[in-house]
A and B are shown apart, each in its own frame.
Chain A
């Protein structure tokens, strides 16, 4: 009886979903509303309306600012969940299996890491700073910073990486990043503009464009720092061994 009910329910749901899917406009049709109205508007007026030459950045920060805000909140929630499950490791410098490996880290790999890490950080800053004009942006730059942190950990061992990128610094950076995002987003609300439009109505109109660019820079850097810190924190949380755990079987 239960199975029959379940099958009936799933069939009804499938019929409903297929019916709704059939009502959608055909995929890739040039006459769709997205292709007739949304895309031309973004391409023609994006630079003027959003203040960025990179249309992707215009969509991410202005037209779809709420999605970006939700992503930022999801990153924070994910980090909080990981800390809740595996612990923060705040009190001591943890150990990790990679430091007990039988295979020594070779001289060539170490030198390559030393040469690569500064380049990666410079590249990530470059794509964050030019994210408003060129391809790239906060997320990509932040992920590159995270990759640099991963390379540092692999090259110089887990304890040293924890010393260089301590827990309290990561917490402060992460909180500053998400706080900055919401502050910048709400700044315009006080003057009467909408949320996440990056306009301060009380200022004269000549400086509005500059103010908006500065605000978008703050957002880019905030997202970059946030993603980099979260990548590093997740790596540290995954690597850290509990003192009481028997490490023999884990290899």
Chain B
């Protein structure tokens, strides 16, 4: 099961999730969340769930990222 691509994708998921949680610059965190969901979309395709992959990439990766970016620009750029 553990092919090289799987390991790379899982490592990317962990890294992007950690950066999204820990980074002080909220814009970086939002972009990392988007990267997380794009990686997750690839994972869903590999797990034979293309429905979920489409929903993940479009709804989480694009639409809610834009909402987060707008919200960050209208509030504070950096975490306290």
Q: Which A residues contact B (CB, under 8 angstroms)? A: 54, 56, 97, 127, 135-137, 139-140, 143-144, 146-147, 150, 231, 234-235, 238-239, 250-251
**Nearest 7 interchain pairs by C-beta:** A135-B50, A140-B54, A143-B58, A143-B59, A56-B51, A147-B62, A238-B70
Chain B interface bracket (under 10, 10 to 19, 20 to 34, 35 or more): 10 to 19
Q: Which B residues contact A (CB, under 8 angstroms)? A: 50-51, 53-55, 58-59, 62-63, 66-67, 70-71, 73-74
**Least distance between B28 CB and chain A CB atoms (Å):** 18
If the complex has contacts A235-B70, A251-B73, are A150 and B54 also in contact, measured as CB distance less than 8 A? no
Q: How many A-B residue pairs have CB under 8 A?
A: 46
Interface of B, helix, strand, loop or mixed by DSSP: helix
- On whether the beta carbons of B74 and A250 are closer than 8 Å, the reply is yes
Interface of A, helix, strand, loop or mixed by DSSP: helix
- On whether the beta carbons of B51 and A137 are closer than 8 Å, the reply is yes
If the complex has contacts A135-B50, A250-B74, are A140 and B63 also in contact, measured as CB distance less than 8 A? no
What residues on B are CB-neighbors of A250 within 8 Å?
Answer: 73-74
**Least distance between B74 CB and chain A CB atoms (Å):** 6
What residues on A are CB-neighbors of B55 within 8 Å?
Answer: 139-140, 143
What residues on B are CB-neighbors of A146 within 8 Å?
Answer: 63
- On whether the beta carbons of B51 and A135 are closer than 8 Å, the reply is yes
What residues on A are CB-neighbors of B54 within 8 Å?
Answer: 127, 135-136, 140
**Least distance between A227 CB and chain B CB atoms (Å):** 8
In the bound complex, how far is the Cα of B59 from the Cα of A146, in angstroms? 9
In the bound complex, how far is the Cα of B67 from the Cα of A136, in angstroms? 23
Task: Give the residue name and chain of the B residue nearest to A60 (CB).
Answer: B51
**Least distance between A216 CB and chain B CB atoms (Å):** 15
- On whether the beta carbons of B71 and A238 are closer than 8 Å, the reply is yes
If the complex has contacts A97-B74, A238-B67, A239-B70, are A150 and B62 also in contact, measured as CB distance less than 8 A? yes
